[in-house]
Chain A
Amino acid sequence: MPTFWLVVFVFALAALGFLAGRARALHSAGGNARDLHSLPNYYGANVLLTTLVPALLVLGLWLMIQPSVVQYRVSGMIPEQAIPENSTLGLVMMDVHQVAAGLDLAVDEGALTEQEAGTIRTEFTDLRARLGELGVALGSDVRPEVLQAAQRYRAIDASGHRNMVIVVTLLALAGLGFSWQHTNKDFRARNVVEQGIYALLVLAALLAILTTIGIVLSMFFESISFFKLHSWTDFFFGGTWAPNFRGDSELSILPLLWGTLYISFIALLVAVPVGLFAAVYLSEYANGHVRAFAKPLLEILAGIPTIVYGLFALLTVGPALVSVFGNGPEGLLGVDWMSGATSVLTAGLVMGIMLIPFVSSLSDDIINAVPQTMRDGSLGLGATKSETVRQVVLPAALPGIVGAILLAASRAIGETMIVVMGAGAIAKFSLNPLESMTTITTRIVSQLTGDTDFASAETLVAFALGITLFVLTLGLNVLALYIVRKYREQYE
């Protein structure tokens, strides 16, 4: 039975269990639902859960574990000498997989009977040609060891699957029978369902956390294999970023880090004053109508996909900057400081625009959280509105605003599309904002999308860059949340 139908079967059984459990509970109370401990549906749900949950859990675990068990048992069959020169067990196992899949296909298409697939020998048939007719391309002739392993692989896999179907079906039936047996009017079905829901919620929360840990770990292991190929001192303390295909690349994060921080700095230089002033206007000066109209409008900026910002940088802001700072005598300033549209300033300006709603919306919330009595106190002493904002409201909101700025900074550092399109691709240390530079995120993109060998240091460096970036933004976020939380306690 294919796994899909097994799942359908278990669900059907559970649905049946629901009805049966409900009916049995009602029956035990003589048809009077008020004599039951819980509502009738809870008894049904109890049977449903006991049928479904253990069976599906076992099914899931089985599906996860079986491939590695089969792999382990089959790989023992491949003798040491069967592994060709400059190849590995892993590569031979890939062949085994492919042959096994080919045999599966052949059986499905009717080219081979199940019997033949299990006993066929390379000595008598040209398997490569027969599989080739079915569209399964094999790199080389099938060697006897590989074919045997593939046949063994299919056999173990099939028996494993058979066992799984039996175990899951039995488990579902047992759950159904057990819970149905225990259903009577005094059974606390409601409490059981409550625990089931609790477990579901915990599972959801765990899943999110585990995924994060999984992402970090996968990056971590790839980074480790990078550091085996490349010295960590060059990565962290070297001064040059120059990947090449000869294998003597200089892969140092520092020039990229410099570009990242420089562009983020310019972005914050744009976003913080504008966003903060917008927030002060919206929360302190604007009347209800303007606020109801302007705030959503400002937040639309936050909904624009960053690739659109990237286009804006490349097509509008970059050329505009060139026409001011470049073009020689024909330019607006008559200087020739900027040659191409991509530059630190282009990316920084556009990224700043992207961050404005981020800063303003967070700051607006924080400014609104400053108690009105604070403003009244200041106004009551004869201070003007702007004196009140400057000397009372903003200092009171300062920790929260700092938190908002740090969150914006961590977004700026992790931003990719705008810098891919607006910042350029040259890694260097320079203070000139009109030159193009590159960032950690753009290099990750270009290292992974290139044509290089996946196991080379030039590709794996992307993971080391990624994990450094992650640590950087995580640190900023934690700091920001710490500050924001500390501030919140002040007025509660």
Chain B
Amino acid sequence: MAARALPDPEMLANGVAARDRAALARSLNLLDDKRPEARRRAAHLLATLPADKLDRSGHLIGITGPPGAGKSSLTSALIQVWRQRNLSVGILAVDPSSPVSGGALLGDRLRMLAHDHDAEGGVFIRSLACRGEYGGLSAEVWPMSLAMLAAFDVVLIETVGVGQKEIDISKMSDTTCFVAQPASGDSIQFLKAGIMEVPHLLVVNKADMGTAARKTLTELRTTLKKQFDPDGWQVPALAVSATKGTGIDKLADTLESHRVWLVEHDLLATRRKRFQAEWILKRLREEFGRFGIERLGGEAGLFDELTRRHGSPFDQYDALRDRFLANWKT
């Protein structure tokens, strides 16, 4: 039996743009594939996807929060509201990998089963293992979310239940939503102490828990009074119940209002460029260390260069990698 042939990237790109589910699935597989030929085709695929969609349309949302806060149930509840509003939805759900075996249990779909019966095929879920990355995401999330942006109106990334310090998701989503547990004061303490990076939206889930949820919400609101993110957005806090379905419409509205705010302030495209630059810098640091970054012109310089240029993440990364290797040899 001959080795299975890799797919043609241009056909895939056309399929993805037409929201062909099989083409999208194969594209995600290709973006995951580390073999050199696959990597070449993946770069070609990303370069062929409609650039305007990747740069400035759709809405890339990140959902993060401690384990057990109900992120998957909340995601499922949001999908329902978005589908009622006729928006198509792509989900990237990240789960932890075992540090010993590398294996992972990808269980988030269990909480989203209701959407399997979506008649129009408007929901697509891909699970990912974090594969040893810190920060609740895996390296594949950024390229994969680009492919999803080409196909869907809303792309939601659900992170591993992380500690409050490491929210890499804020460097990869237009809108970051932090889900807090009622009666767990940790997030508030971290916010007050400035340890936790400020998300764009704080959600207290399990509002059906009553007093505990109200108390947590009040504390959050007090803490957040006049709290702005670095771009100047004032951070709201909401109470919802994913299982009872209350407050979800309001949450969807608030997420949308942040997207509109980003567009109005001309920040959507700028921020996505920043995300890509961050992603490339992280990969370079991993491969070449601080020394390598210095040889390439330093963090600030590289960041600047990357945000000014166009190109797919793989192409940009490969160009810098080649430059480093060339410098190294001379």
Q: Do they bind each other?
A: no
